[in-house]
Amino acid sequence: MIYGYDPRTGEPVGEGWPESDARHVDAVVSAAAAAGESWRATPAAERARTLEAVAEALTAHVDELWALADRETALGEARLRGEVARAAGQFRLFAQVIRDGGYLEAIIDHADPSLTPPRPDVRRMKHPLPGVVAVFAASNFPFAFSVSGGDTASALAAGCPVVVKAHPAHPGTSERVAEVIRTALPDPALLDLVHGMAAGKDLVQHPLVVAAGFTGSVPGGKAVQALIAERETPIPFFGELGSVNPVVVLPSADRSQLASGFAASLTLGAGQFCTNPGLVFVPEDPGLLKELAAAVEAATGGPMLASRIRDGYLNGLERLGGLQVLAEGRAGEGAWAVAPKVFTVDLATFAEGLPHLAEECFGPASVVVTYRDVADLPGVLARLDGSLTATVHATDPAEAASVVPVLRRTAGRLIWNGWPTGVAVCWAMHHGGPWPASTSAHTSVGATAVDRWLAPAAYQDWPAELLPDELKDDNPLGIPRRVDGRLAG
């Protein structure tokens, strides 16, 4: 049985959920695949209406959902209400995306008999992957990266049914969210859940599963990748794994809100963000270090989502234990509450301690690295593993010239004078980055997240009556296309 636990008390919440055995996984995946047949053939406009209905259903149940999730996560009302709104917003964005139709990348090249060799009529567009998308839910966003998260929303938008391997840190929330979403779907089998580690294995190895989305740790992601490698037919694996999110404070930076901004970003959600600022480079300046220390000392961590996650954080602190402690904050209330803790080290010593000093410590921990000369930064930054984000604090853009090219290779999102926590859900967002931040060049947040569940096909000299509407000459759906080399919106 899988039990949810209250992080405030460490006690189980409500009834447990049976682990899904292989037969159950097979039944769920097969039913999803069958339901997917008509879903993928459903016109985009109708799929968009369904996604909006899901958004409405989530919004209508927010009172019940936040309270349920709060018992299993202790993330609090404001954050959890906001997260339901965000999850609903993601479904709405993907409704816009598929109505727009640009995501299909439709291209038409008419025949050209004057060429050598003569060119046939060739038309290309993307189609949903032919089968079920497996989603491994994250612990830290019980709505926005879980059953109702971006992976589910983008896969349903693409035209794929979804089976989620529920995160054991919030099984009750997962079940209820699935029920709520299903009320808005034309066929409830389009979204289902499985519970337990073994079910996760059975899920990614099921022949009807065509792709997997994953948000979690590097070892977890590697384990899923290894299971996929055992398949007879490989499938794409879209993992969003670890990230330290380097922040570079340059000498010209405005320091007025630097310390408070850092402490807030560090402790948001008890530090349980994949975009947590785990590494901060600052000029060697005792005054600045004092400000940072004071802000962290005044900050509170809070209960982590699970005892296992708490233990992982404490182990991570031990790994960094050789460094000088800059500041430690308060743990706050709760059985699994932890305090924020910040270490400090000079740049040369940090460079000697790579790569292990730059490993992610999931939770409210960070390493503040002091440097004397900006010119020393690029060589060290170039040695960091891939991250989801990299941030620069400066008032003088010219001062950043030497670090920006290095950071661009390190991270999928570059931030100016901000903090990495908080990921806007919009067309341009990219939430990915070089390995291990991501296992692919794709994003798991924002409009282009839908690309993961699509594959192109070309039609050569294909009869008009058999062409998809998206590729017919008169463009009945009015979607953007490239025709004979020219974009036509």
Q: Is 461 in the site for its own copies (CB under 8 A)?
A: yes
Binding its own copies by CB under 8 A: which of 456, 469, 473, 478? 456
Restricting to residues 72-101, which ones interact with its own copies according to CB under 8 A?
82, 85, 96, 100
Q: Which of 182, 175, 194, 184 is nearest to 68 (CA)?
A: 175
Site for its own copies in 402-431 (CB under 8 A): 404, 408-409, 411-418, 422, 424, 426-430
Rounded to the nearest whole angstrom, what is the least distance from the CB of residue 86 to its own copies in the complex? 9
Residue 332: CB minimum distance to its own copies, A: 23
Cβ-Cβ contacts under 8 Å for 471 (sequence gap 6 or more) = 106, 108, 123, 124, 125, 459
Taking the complex as a whole, how short is the minimal distance between the CB of residue 353 and its own copies, in angstroms? 18
Q: Which of 274, 291, 328, 361 is catalytic?
A: 274
Q: Are 103 and 127 in contact (CB under 8 A)?
A: no
Binding residue for its own copies, selected from 2, 400, 450, 477, defined by CB under 8 A? 400
Compute the distance between CA of residue 250 and CA of residue 113 in angstroms, rounded to an integer: 60
Residue 287 beta carbon to its own copies: minimum distance, rounded to whole angstroms: 26
Q: What share of the chain is helix, strand, coil (3-state, %, to 5)?
A: 40, 20, 35
Rg of the chain over Cα atoms, rounded to whole angstroms, equals 24
- Measured between alpha carbons, how far is 89 from 143 in angstroms, rounded to an integer? 11
CB 182 within 8 A of CB 54: no
Tell me the C-alpha distance between 391 and 264, whole Å.
Answer: 15
Question: Which range binds its own copies by CB under 8 A, 141-149, 246-254, 311-319, 449-457?
Answer: 449-457
Q: Exactly one of 83, 240, 328, 360 is catalytic; name it.
A: 240
Return the range that interacts with its own copies (CB under 8 A); candidates 18-26, 150-158, 298-306, 463-471.
Answer: 463-471
Whether 274 is catalytic is: yes
107 Rama sector, left if φ>0, alpha if ψ -120 to 50, beta otherwise: beta
> If binding is defined by CB under 8 A, does position 261 make contact with its own copies?
no
48, 104, 108, 369: residue in contact with its own copies (rule CB under 8 A) = 108
207 binds its own copies (CB under 8 A): no
Does the active-site annotation cover 240? yes
Phi, psi of 311 (to 5 degrees): -60, -40
Choose which of 78, 113, 117, 219 interacts with its own copies (CB under 8 A).
117
- Residue 318 CB neighbour total at 10 angstroms: 10
Shorter beta-carbon distance to its own copies: residue 197 or 416? 416
Task: Pick the piece of the chain touching its own copies (CB under 8 A) from 46-54, 167-175, 267-275, 394-402.
Answer: 394-402
Active site residues: 240, 274
